[in-house]
Structure 1
Amino acid sequence: MQHLDLQVIEGALRWANLGHRLWLCTVLATFGSSPRAPGAMLVARQDGEHLGSLSGGCVEEDFLERLRQEEFDEPVQQVRYGGQGSEPNASRVRLPCGGRLELLVERLEPSVATLTHLEVMHATLLGRRALTRYVPLDGRGATFVLAEASGPAIVWKEGVIGVRIGPALRLIIAGISPVSEACASFASTLGFEVIVCDPREEARRGFAVPGVELQAVMPSTFIASGGCHAATAVVALTHDPRIDDLAMIEAVRTQAFYIGVMGSKRNSQARAERLRRSGGLTEAEIARIKMPIGLGLGSKTPAEIALAVMADIVRVHRGRAQDVL
């Protein structure tokens, strides 16, 4: 399964190539109990076909009904769900717990300009560098500017809204094990691009997780060749130091936002010493590695360990402290 943003943009490209007019919706801001984060996207056709999501379902249902009624006829509109229904462009839909959701709605004609714009977005999601897409509210057409390494999802300027687009979330799994298979399955369901690296033919022979890319190389080789970008997590889950340690040595030299390796506290202490002594890693580099990996859920089975790993990756990606629910 692809990252949700990739599904949205690839669907938009497919429909635009078929001559469909599209509406691209982006979450601008959320207040209270709004499920999706700023930057989340949905693309829709006037017949109700759509990809992506904006909330838990009620917003999508209302938006698609209003779209069928031809309410969104401007090139660019801001729409609010929740809050006071008397406000301009406010919807009658109320979100739970007083939540509020603000959307940017762009009408895209099936033109060469639209196809080019969507191709840039697609390449950015598959690439290594982030862009900010500046959308003038007067409908003059969006432009792209290279974004900083990190920054807010939405930038507000007078008459213009900037939407940050970055590489799709990627998970590199170093080595195949029962935990690796469960982790790959969870990550794929969560919308990560999942790449599993293992040079052992016997290990690869029994591996079968739909939608996961399998590379017959040492994980360290794949990582060193440029397999990581800033939206990448790297996990080593084999208990084999020949695979795990080398992967960690290469991973700390990248921009990966999460690096972790499986093992008990005692094994992790021994690994840290090996990485320090034989791998030449500094204390700062060792500190980047989550070992033991994952949240402390008391996990025992491969699936439970994989759950703890993916939960911790999502926590770090969301910028949440470990002791905050």
Structure 2
Amino acid sequence: MQNLDYQVVEQAIEWLSDDRTIWLCTVVSTFGSSPREPGSLMVANADGQHLGSLSGGCVEEDFLARLTEGEYQLPAVIVRYGAPVGGPENARVRLPCGGILEVLVERMSATHENLAHLKEVLGALGGEKDIERQVNLTDGKRRTEPASATGPRVILDESQEVVRMRVGPVAKLILAGYSTVAEACARFAISLGYQVVLCDPRDEVTCDLKLPGDIEFIPQLPSLYIASPGACTPSTAVVAVTHDPRIDDLAMMAAVKTAAGYIGVMGSVRTSQARADRLRRTGGLTDTEIERIHMPIGLDLGSKTPAEIALAIMADIVRVRRGRVSVNA
């Protein structure tokens, strides 16, 4: 799956390869209402052609108008939209609900160094490991280094005049087996920009399924897919919500051997304790491996319906991906 940011970087590379200067824009921070999260990308060229988005409309129009008029000639600059009167002298666009949006604008000429940098970024987006882009605001110099898959996507270090941006594989949700909760999780995950894969070998369960086209269905035992090379990265969540130990237990046994950033299985506290004993006894899992599994899965919201349970699960996945401590502790 090639998400929008991946396509943006691909387009940037294509324009650089054609000896065209580009402007790569990254959402740095948002305050109040904003449709795009920090780390979101847009690229444009001097003719006003662009791909990606920053806000879904007004910001893009203002930026492109100023770009074609000859602005943004510095190698790197922070532009603030929605700033109050008397704020930094950047573009003034009124955002919904009084929101403020800060954007890093990088001017990149068609050099070998810039092309190599963006190819490294593209490799991270399509690969298995996260990297951190570091852009110096004083001279626009860029460097990369390995990064964790969790925590803030963008950090503006004003003391050092550096913007640090975490870049990595698209967030992915592997659903080990079908259930109404799994389907609800899939729909939530798609709306959050996740790649969704549903694995289930049971013909009697899946023969009449009508899933959204964005869900990749694989009629295979989930544990086999989970264990396959490249299936799980630190940006992957593995979720088992079938109540069928033949599906759920095997999925957990496979998932803890991978780099998956979130592993969870549905069940009550008593069921989870029994499963932990079973995984330790028959699956040979260590205490450290069992501790990686979120069981019971999800935030404690008092959920009852499949949609409410799915909401609790996806909220917990987002919490972990953002590097937040547990709210259930």
TM superposition score category, shorter chain reference? 0.7 to 0.9
Residue 133 of structure 2 contacts residue 165 of structure 2 at CA under 8 Å; is this kept in 1? yes
| Equivalent residue in structure 2 for 1:233, among 222, 233, 237 | 237
Structure 1 Cα separation of the partners of residues 268 and 295 of structure 2: 8
TM-score, reference length from structure 1: 0.80
Mapping for residues 21-100 of structure 1, pairs under 5 Å: 21-29=21-29, 37-45=37-45, 50-55=50-55, 58-83=58-83, 89-93=89-93, 100=100
Shift of 1:16: 5.8
What's 1:171 paired with?
173
Equivalent residue of 2:170, what SS? Answer: coil
Describe the shift of the 1:212–1:309 C-alpha distance in structure 2 as closer, same or farther (beyond 3 A): same
Structure 2 Cα separation of the partners of residues 49 and 305 of structure 1: 43
2:293 corresponds to 1:294: no
Describe the shift of the 1:268–1:161 C-alpha distance in structure 2 as closer, same or farther (beyond 3 A): closer
Shift of 1:20: 6.5
Cα shift readout 1:81-132 (whole Å, capped 9, x = no counterpart): 3556556653334667886543221234567765554333222112112222
Describe the shift of the 1:219–1:105 C-alpha distance in structure 2 as closer, same or farther (beyond 3 A): same
Structure 2 Cα separation of the partners of residues 293 and 269 of structure 1: 13
Mapping for residues 243-254 of structure 1, pairs under 5 Å: 243-254=247-258
Q: 2:194 is matched by which residue type in structure 1? A: F
Structure 1 Cα separation of the partners of residues 214 and 111 of structure 2: 32
Shift of 1:34: 6.4
| Equivalent residue in structure 1 for 2:223, among 220, 224, 229 | 220
Cα shift readout 1:148-174 (whole Å, capped 9, x = no counterpart): 566763374856544331222111111
Structure 2 Cα separation of the partners of residues 54 and 266 of structure 1: 46
Structure 2 Cα separation of the partners of residues 173 and 129 of structure 1: 21
Cα shift readout 1:219-243 (whole Å, capped 9, x = no counterpart): 2222223421111111012111111
Describe the shift of the 1:72–1:312 C-alpha distance in structure 2 as closer, same or farther (beyond 3 A): same
Moved more, 113-122 or 151-160: 151-160
Shift of 1:309: 1.8
Provide the alpha-carbon RMSD of the alignment: 3.5
Mapping for residues 1-325 of structure 1, pairs under 5 Å: 3-13=3-13, 21-29=21-29, 37-45=37-45, 50-55=50-55, 58-83=58-83, 89-93=89-93, 100-109=100-109, 116-137=116-137, 142-147=142-147, 153-154=154-155, 156=157, 161-207=163-209, 208-226=211-229, 227-321=231-325, 323=327
Describe the shift of the 1:183–1:165 C-alpha distance in structure 2 as closer, same or farther (beyond 3 A): same
Q: 1:200 is matched by which residue type in structure 2? A: R
Shift of 1:49: 5.3
Moved more, 296-305 or 238-247: 296-305
Structure 1 Cα separation of the partners of residues 148 and 297 of structure 2: 29
Cα shift readout 1:252-305 (whole Å, capped 9, x = no counterpart): 233322211122333223222212222233334333322222233444443333
Equivalent residue of 1:220, what SS? Answer: helix
Describe the shift of the 1:66–1:85 C-alpha distance in structure 2 as closer, same or farther (beyond 3 A): farther
Equivalent residue of 2:134, what SS? Answer: strand
Moved more, 297-306 or 215-224: 297-306
Q: 1:315 is matched by which residue type in structure 2? A: R
Query: How high is the sequence identity, in percent, across the aligned residues?
Result: 56
Residue 201 of structure 2 contacts residue 220 of structure 2 at CA under 8 Å; is this kept in 1? yes
Describe the shift of the 1:140–1:81 C-alpha distance in structure 2 as closer, same or farther (beyond 3 A): closer
Equivalent residue of 1:225, what SS? Answer: coil
Residue 245 of structure 1 contacts residue 271 of structure 1 at CA under 8 Å; is this kept in 2? yes
Structure 2 Cα separation of the partners of residues 174 and 211 of structure 1: 17
Which residues of structure 1 form unaligned runs of 5+? none
Q: How many residues align?
A: 324
Shift of 1:41: 2.2
Q: 1:254 is matched by which residue type in structure 2? A: T
Residue 181 of structure 1 contacts residue 209 of structure 1 at CA under 8 Å; is this kept in 2? no
Residue 174 of structure 1 contacts residue 236 of structure 1 at CA under 8 Å; is this kept in 2? yes
Structure 1 Cα separation of the partners of residues 17 and 92 of structure 2: 34
